């Protein structure tokens, strides 16, 4: 199902752009790239992507796992964790 709307939460710009490029090459839609936990929480409070690719270690007061746990209490969005 390539009509998935995928959000990328990654604070390393080069990695985020590489992931975005790979997804576009495979004809997936990228909802956006977010590099900070507070920005991710704000975005996800108003939007519901089909899936989120989330780095475990991101900038901000929360890590990626905490962001996912908080959002999953309100919305049933699947998260795939990334780390390098």
Residue 31's closest CA among 66, 57, 4?
A: 4
Of the candidates 47, 48, 67, the one whose C-alpha atom is nearest the C-alpha of residue 57 is 67
| Residues 54/33, Cβ–Cβ less than 8 Å | no
The whole-model pTM stands at 0.93
64 pLDDT tier (thresholds 50, 70, 90): very high
> What is the spatial distance between Cα 11 and Cα 13, in angstroms, rounded to a whole number?
6
In angstroms, the CA 49 to CA 35 distance is 16
Tell me the per-residue pLDDT of 37-55, one tens digit each, with 9 for 90 and over: 999 999 999 999 999 999 9
Residue with tokens 């962001």: 67
Give me Rg for the CA atoms of the chain: 12
């Amino acid at each position: 199902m390539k009509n998935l709307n995928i959000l990328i939460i990654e604070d390393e710009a080069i990695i985020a752009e590489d992931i975005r490029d790979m997804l576009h090459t495979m004809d997936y839609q990228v909802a956006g790239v977010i590099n900070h936990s507070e920005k991710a929480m704000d975005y996800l409070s108003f939007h519901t992507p089909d899936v989120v690719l989330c780095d475990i270690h991101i900038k901000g007061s929360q890590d990626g796992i905490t962001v996912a746990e908080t959002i999953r209490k309100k919305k049933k969005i699947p998260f795939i964790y990334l780390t390098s």
